[in-house]
Amino acid sequence: MTAHSIRSIREGLLKKEFRAVEIAREALAHAERENPKTNAYLLFSSERALEAAERNFALNRDVPAVAACPRETAQADVFCWLREPAARRFDLIVLDPPALAKRASEREEAMRAYSRLLTGAMARLNGNGMLVAASCSAHVSAGDFFDLAREAARATGRGFEEWLATRHAPDHPVTFPEGGYLKCIYLRFR
């Protein structure tokens, strides 16, 4: 992705709250305009999630970049996959795992798991690559999650820019602390 396409995506983000799927779709559209060989690699732990991703591709087939995008799917445990030597690098990685801390007692292990996910994903990003990292764990605060992502980014030794850190959209009111479980951070690496 070029700096121009990245600026265009960022401008869109600042105007509207995007979910991870929407930013991936937008980034894919921009990347496709600049590199027709853009493709998607979808890694999920469940067959059901892979099927849902294929349905989402079908629902967005009216977007030329999505319709033309070659894609591969794989079913694997992401923690095992990240331990394997990185055979490929990517321009965009969206980390959106299920809740890793459903109970307060699971918080510390969830923080270690998020750290492994973030570090492994960052190692697979190309120069000028984008990481979109989300969490829906009620017992990991947005501040702690964002700090962990920033710390992992600094530890790579690569320059990075934080585009945006988001929480619940306005149409999802939060009336108790654990209700504020959605958070997402967008980091671009040089």
CA distance 41 to 125: 13
Per-residue pLDDT of the chain (190 residues; tens, 9 = 90+): 555 454 554 444 444 444 445 555 655 555 555 555 666 778 888 888 888 888 888 888 888 877 777 788 888 888 888 888 877 888 888 888 888 999 999 999 999 999 999 999 999 988 888 899 999 999 999 999 999 999 999 999 999 999 889 888 777 778 877 777 889 999 999 8
Contacts 24+ apart (CB under 8 A), 35-39: 36/68, 38/65, 38/69, 38/91, 39/69, 39/70, 39/71, 39/72
| The CATH number fitting domain 3-189, selected from 3.20.20.70, 3.40.710.10, 3.30.460.80, 3.40.50.150 | 3.40.50.150
Distance CA 97, CA 102 (A): 13
Q: Which residues are catalytic?
A: 136
Contact 155, 124 (CB under 8 A): no
pLDDT at residue 25, rounded to an integer: 60
Across 76-145, where does the E strand assignment appear? 90-95, 125-135
